[in-house]
Amino acid sequence: MSVQETRIALRNAGRINPESIDDYINAGGFEALARAKQTERDRLIEDVENASKLRGRGGAGFNTGFKWSGARSSEGKEKYIVCNCDEGEPGTFKDRYIIENDPFTVIEGILIAAYAVEASDAIIYVRGEYEKPIGLLRGAIAQAEERGLTGNVNLRVYAGAGSYVCGEETALLSSIEGGRAEPRLKPPFPTDKGAFGKPTVVNNVETFSNVPMIVLNGTDWFSNIGNPDYPGTKIFSVSGDVKKAGCYELATDATLADVILELAGGATDGHTIKAIQLGGSSCGYIRGNDIDISVAFDSLRKAGKSLGSGAVLVLDETRDMVLQIQQILHFFAHESCGKCTPCREGLYQACKRIDRFVEGTASRDDLDMLLALSDLMASDCFCPLGQGALTAFSSAFELFPEDFEQRMVK
């Protein structure tokens, strides 16, 4: 096998006992925090922002240091660091994998960020179903506190109620505050007015997990790995019709073929790949014979695709796109918070129409309604949940119209 993983966030996976801070320390853990604390704060942020060019791994690909500098320069003494481990995206299980293998790396990254922006409160928001990661994180925090490593930072784990929209950063903040998890209008951005109205940095688990190695190995080391515009690595959660489903961390100049064919072993025996849904349920499909494309964030975007959270759902030739879309639309209808009408009512209608395709009673009118809803919701929904809810449908219809047409009444 020619393609190898490059492990940064997962560097300790399988090498340390995730319940032992001694193992983590023996592997060089918390050296980065000590080094960061010897660095002037603005310099540290400048390094993360402009020299390392670390970008968010939670889906939006935003410059991490830019967020940190925004929160640092915001007025107000109290500041929050929030780590997003809601991970409600179907087919995404990388944050869980990081924590189950090494809960200390993300904690060290959070503590470095807290030092950088002078935050004395840090919250790791974990979906409630993630019982094992929650236990591991709480145990790891207790050990770090015993060793005096958390300093003046009050670091705690908040178990969410397990709703997809809780992963959207402003809905997450409302949930932390005890309110309904509904997205808020931006601006103000969380870096100005976040948790409890205080300046807040929200970053993903994988994003924070890269920070210790950037501090230890230097920004040049990091920015020279992978694609220069989205440097470093990305963890892919591969599931579906492949031989070896799982998490793989690759330099960002890899191709989708490297992930699927080389590391995940390709389609299961006797089958061919029909389509890949890259990025999660709100993202489009790629044809099975088009997988020789770069996984770098911006080049995918230019090609009209999305890296999203790094979910890679592989579908073989036996899969019917109508059934895929039915599952996705019902998922979104269930997860819509109901705040805005286009999302709430649009998804209700979309489910009714796609169900007719499954029953074999769909007409041209049902197809037209789904196509119209795709356009309308993409532009008129309040938050990206609704805006992306029909992306999978429009992409599936564009690439595999026959799957839909054969189910329509002639």
Q: Which residues lie near ligand FMN (CB under 6 A)? A: 56-60, 62, 84, 86-89, 164-165, 167-169, 202-204, 207, 383-385
Q: Are 386 and 342 in contact (CB under 8 A)?
A: yes
Sheet containing 200-204: which strands, arranged edge to edge? 154-160, 121-127, 80-85, 200-204
- Type of residue numbered 335: E
Min dist CB 251 to ligand FMN, Å, is 18
> Which is closer to ligand FMN, CB of 60 or CB of 372?
60
Residue 147 DSSP SS3? coil
Q: How far is CA 249 from the centre of its chain?
A: 14
CB of 383 to ligand FMN, least distance (A): 6
The three-class DSSP label of residue 267 is: strand
Nearer residue to ligand FMN within complex by CB, 60 or 142: 60
CB of 164 to ligand FMN, least distance (A): 6
**Residue with smaller CB distance to ligand FMN, 84 or 101:** 84
CB-nearer residue toward ligand FMN: 88 or 266? 88
Contact 127, 162 (CB under 8 A): yes
Give 150-169 as a DSSP string.
TTT-EEEEEEE---GGGGSH
Residues 6+ away with beta carbon under 8 Å from 50: 65
218 and 39 Cβ atoms separated by less than 8 Å: no
Provide the residue count of the chain: 410
Tell me how far, at minimum, the Cβ of 44 lies from ligand FMN, in Å.
Answer: 17
SS3 38: coil
Cβ nearer to ligand FMN, comparing 143 with 204: 204
Is 59 or 199 the residue whose CB approaches ligand FMN more closely? 59
Query: How many H-runs (helices) and E-runs (strands) does the chain carry?
Result: 18, 9
Taking the C-alpha atoms of residue 148 and residue 164, their distance in angstroms, rounded to an integer, is 35
**Nearest distance from C-beta of residue 320 to ligand FMN, angstroms:** 26
Over its C-alpha atoms, the chain yields an Rg (Å, rounded) of 21
DSSP one-letter code for 59? S
* Element spanning 106, H or E: helix 103-117
Question: Which residue number, 146 or 177, has a Cβ lying nearer to ligand FMN?
Answer: 177
CA nearest 167: which of 248, 307, 80, 59? Answer: 59
Q: How far apart are CA 246 and CA 200, in angstroms?
A: 32
* Cβ at position 141, least distance to ligand FMN in Å: 19
Residue number, 58 or 91, with CB nearest to ligand FMN: 58
Shortest distance in whole angstroms from residue 274 CB to ligand FMN: 27
CB-based burial, 211-226: b 16+ in 10 Å, e otherwise: bbbbbbeebeebbebb
State which residue, 94 or 305, has the beta carbon closest to ligand FMN. 94
- Least Cβ distance, residue 128 to ligand FMN (angstroms): 13
The residue behind tokens 């129409």 is 353
Question: Smallest distance from the beta carbon of 6 to ligand FMN, in angstroms?
Answer: 19
For ligand FMN, the closer CB: 89 or 403: 89
Longest CA–CA span in the chain (Å) reads 72
Q: How far is the CB of 89 from ligand FMN (least distance, A)?
A: 6
